[in-house]
């Protein structure tokens, strides 16, 4: 029996402070853990609708992003099912609108993955900088733990150690 395909997708723009939160979490996962072949981790950047071909393939989709809602900066969110469009309908960036449209278009392809969106309320998504604010940086590891909890819920076994991947991670050479 084939294992269910799982995609962990980090989205956001690393050039605008906390807007790149999902990408920071994704690369922390890649640097810290090894995952089985049926679990893929992808940097979705700000591709929006261009992600349709990627997100329409897995059975399960775990998205990590900055989620601007009405919470206090640093608030953590776990959205699924009907909460997804309701909680992030009023988006503050084009990639989020396009991503939701791509997720909706999966219905036309007759394959909508079971989706969970994990994220943090950003403090600043307007300043041009690749560093997260201290408030949001403090939430990277808690969201890494949330992603791992989702994978555990799906029966995924993972281990410590860096995943082998070809990286175009602009943050790769940074000191953490």
Residue ranges and CATH numbers for the domains of the chain are: 6-160 (3.40.50.1450)
Beta-strand relationship, 114-120 and 76-80: antiparallel
The Cα–Cα gap between 155 and 159 comes to 13
pTM of the model: 0.83
The Cα–Cα gap between 84 and 120 comes to 14
Query: 41, 61 in Cβ contact below 8 A?
Result: no
List pLDDT tens digits, range 88-132: 444 455 445 456 666 665 565 666 789 899 999 999 999 999 999
List pLDDT tens digits, range 22-56: 999 999 999 999 999 999 999 988 766 677 778 88
Query: 86, 98 in Cβ contact below 8 A?
Result: no
Structure tokens at 57: 């393939």
């Amino acid at each position: 029996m084939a294992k269910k395909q799982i995609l962990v997708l980090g989205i956001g723009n690393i050039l605008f402070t906390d807007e790149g939160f999902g990408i920071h979490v994704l690369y922390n996962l890649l640097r810290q853990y090894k995952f089985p072949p049926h679990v893929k981790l992808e940097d979705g950047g700000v591709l929006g609708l261009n992600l349709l071909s990627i997100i329409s393939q897995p059975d399960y989709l775990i998205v990590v992003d900055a989620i601007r809602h009405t919470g206090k900066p640093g608030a953590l969110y776990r959205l699924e099912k009907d909460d997804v469009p309701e909680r992030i309908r009023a988006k503050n960036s084009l990639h989020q609108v396009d991503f939701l449209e791509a997720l909706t278009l999966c219905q036309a392809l007759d394959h909508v993955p079971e989706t969970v969106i994990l994220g943090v309320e950003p403090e600043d998504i307007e300043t041009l900088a690749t560093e997260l604010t201290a408030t949001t940086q403090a939430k990277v590891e808690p969201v890494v733990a949330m992603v791992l909890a989702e994978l555990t819920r799906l029966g995924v076994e993972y281990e410590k150690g860096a995943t082998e991947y070809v990286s175009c991670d602009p943050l790769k050479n940074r000191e953490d």
